[in-house]
Structures are given as structure tokens and as C-alpha cells.
């Protein structure tokens, strides 16, 4: 369905990029005002699946009271094991695109009025103009939340550069360094080089120190996430080595053990199970040996805590 250009306060440059979409490395050149015909299937509307308070992020991201997370539907990757598959797939049941811009702002400000201080944009790579419109509008009506860009890192570095000054905290995944693996698991052969360049740009903007307030809430900086996949410890160790060599061991890392097999991969030879404790500990040891000292590791039962149901109003309750 065509999207009315007047309903979201886009800048002219955003209208141009959405009309001939080169927002992400796929560069489909789709006219997103005329439906979702590009690889991500997202049109120029809000593409929001859920806006809710989320307390399950890292302690510095959720803060003591939770973060107002905006979960965008659709994605520019197609990870076979996607933990948010209910909203990320082109045919996902809970994609939801019914929320208009004004209602999205109302939902966010209602949450901020309850004392929540941060707004997280989850899976934003294919909807950066929408992210900018939300931030500018919130600022224009007096709200200055901490902004968190929670991305798979399949972002063009020029687009990350365009966010300089708007985003306070970058929360990028660094999934793989082996192109064959990123092609097989996420449908993107060039993910490693794209993610490396995007994260370097984030690092250039923020440096390695994750600045927090007196309640431990991240206010500025970068926190790199890596999800350890069962059977792929060598890849996890290569990712950590790449961060140590290309970026800095002073950067904060969130090493995640929370992987669980969704229905799509229950029968996969490696991905059909959760992670063994010995696998996770082996990667933690490598992280320590490389000299990383800042960040978070997870309990082995954390996979029990991340089972969102996006058919509910509050997917995590």
C-alpha cells in the first residue's frame, strides 16, 4: 500500500533515500513509498512491531527501571536462527505496521513520563529515517532521552556517520568474521567487512569508554554484543580477536550465552541445541586472555529469560 509522505516528518534527504532505497548495504533501490518491495520488505511507514519497557538488556542498557524499546519489524538480514523471528521475517505473523507516527510518539512519551530515561531502537538498520524522525520530534517537544542504537551492524558506515550527534549509545552485534558463515546463516556474504566498517565508525564517534551515570546507566559510548552459537566457538574467538586487533581491548563487550533454538533450526546439526557451559567458558577464557576487561558475561540459564512473544502487548511479561 502506498505511504503518505506527509505523515512522518522526513527530511528531504530521507525522502530521497527511501524513494530509491540505498539505506543499507543491499542497495535494492526500491521505492519504499510505494510498498515494501525491497529485500527487507519494509515500506516507508513506521514498521513498528512493539513499543514497551524492557528490563532484559545488559544492566547498563536497561538501567534500574528498564528502557523504552521500539522493536522494528522486518530486517535486512535473514538469520536462520533469529531470536526475534516473530517480527523479523517478511512473512512474520507479528510484523505490524498499523501504528502511525503520532501514536508512536504518544506511546514513547507515555513511557518516558513514567521516569524511563532511555529509548532503544531495536533492529533499526532498514528504518534509519524513521529513527531520526522520532528523535527529532521527541527533542522538539522537550524530551531528551538517552538514545540507544541496537543494531545487527549490517549498516552502511555513511549511514552510521549520519547519526553522529543523534545517538548516545551504540549497541552493535558483531556476529561473524567468516563470509561463508555469514552467507550461510544470515544471507549476507559481505557481513564481516560491512560490520567491521560500521563498528569502526561507531568507535570513531564514541571512543572505547562506556560512560555511565551514578545509577550505572549507559549515557554515551559503545557496547559490542556477540552471541556465542553452539558448535561455533572458533568463530566467536575470531570475532574477539578481530575486535582486539582492529578496534580496542578497552571497549566493552557483552558476551551472550542466551542462544536458544527456534522452531526454524530445531533440526539443525549444530544450532538445534542451547550452548554447553564448557563452550561458553572456553570463549570467556579467550576474551580474558586477549585482555578485555569491560563488559558483561551471562549466566548459562539466561536463554530461559529471552523468549519474547510479540503477539502480546508486552512481549517480555
- Interacting residue ranges for ligand SF4, rule: CB under 6 A: 21-24, 26-28, 30, 38-40, 42, 76, 126
CB of 30 to ligand SF4, least distance (A): 4
- Smaller CB distance to ligand SF4: residue 28 or 297? 28
Nearer to ligand SF4, 10 or 39 (CB): 39
**Closest residue to ligand SF4 in the complex (CB):** 38
* Nearest distance from C-beta of residue 91 to ligand SF4, angstroms: 16
Q: How far is the CB of 24 from ligand SF4 (least distance, A)?
A: 3
Cβ closest to ligand SF4, residue 76 vs residue 274: 76
Structural contact between residues 97 and 46, judged by C-beta atoms closer than 8 angstroms: yes
Closest contact distance (angstroms) between CB of 156 and ligand SF4 is: 9
Which residue, 129 or 221, has its beta carbon nearer to ligand SF4? Answer: 129
Q: Report, in Å, the least distance between residue 179 CB and ligand SF4.
A: 18
Q: Which is nearer to ligand SF4, 50 or 123 (CB)?
A: 123
Amino acid at each position: 500500500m502506498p505511504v503518505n509522505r506527509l505523515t512522518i516528518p522526513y527530511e528531504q534527504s530521507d525522502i530521497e533515500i527511501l524513494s530509491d532505497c540505498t539505506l543499507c548495504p543491499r542497495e535494492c533501490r526500491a521505492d519504499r513509498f510505494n510498498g515494501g518491495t525491497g529485500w527487507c520488505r519494509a515500506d516507508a511507514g513506521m514498521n513498528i512491531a512493539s513499543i514497551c519497557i524492557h528490563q532484559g538488556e545488559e544492566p547498563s542498557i536497561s538501567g534500574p527501571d528498564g528502557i523504552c524499546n521500539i522493536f522494528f519489524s522486518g530486517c535486512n538480514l535473514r538469520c536462520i536462527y533469529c531470536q526475534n523471528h516473530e517480527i523479523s521475517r517478511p512473512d512474520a505473523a507479528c510484523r505490524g505496521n498499523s501504528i502511525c507516527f503520532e501514536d508512536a510518539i504518544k506511546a514513547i512519551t507515555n513511557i518516558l513520563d513514567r521516569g524511563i530515561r532511555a529509548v532503544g531502537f531495536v533492529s533499526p538498520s532498514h528504518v534509519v529515517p524513521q529513527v531520526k524522525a522520532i528523535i527529532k520530534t521527541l527533542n522538539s517537544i522537550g524530551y531528551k532521552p538517552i538514545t540507544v542504537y541496537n543494531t545487527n551492524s549490517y549498516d552502511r558506515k555513511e549511514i552510521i556517520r549520519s547519526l553522529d550527534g543523534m545517538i548516545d549509545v551504540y549497541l552493535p552485534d558483531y556476529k561473524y568474521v567468516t563470509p561463508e558463515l555469514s552467507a550461510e546463516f544470515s544471507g549476507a556474504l559481505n557481513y564481516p567487512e560491512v560490520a567491521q566498517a560500521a563498528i569502526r565508525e561507531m568507535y570513531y564517534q564514541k571512543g572505547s569508554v562506556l560512560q555511565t551515570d551514578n545509577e550505572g546507566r549507559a549515557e554515551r559510548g559503545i557496547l559490542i554484543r556477540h552471541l556465542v552459537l553452539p558448535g561455533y566457538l572458533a568463530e566467536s574467538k575470531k570475532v574477539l580477536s578481530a575486535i582486539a586487533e582492529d578496534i580496542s581491548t578497552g571497549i566493552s563487550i557483552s558476551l551472550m550465552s542466551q542462544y536458544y533454538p527456534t522452531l526454524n533450526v530445531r533440526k539443525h546439526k549444530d544450532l538445534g541445541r542451547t550452548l554447553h557451559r564448557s563452550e561458553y567458558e572456553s570463549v570467556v577464557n579467550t576474551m580474558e586472555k586477549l585482555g578485555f576487561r569491560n563488559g558483561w558475561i551471562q549466566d548459562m540459564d539466561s536463554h530461559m529469560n529471552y523468549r519474547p512473544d510479540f503477539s502480546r502487548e508486552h512481549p517480555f511479561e
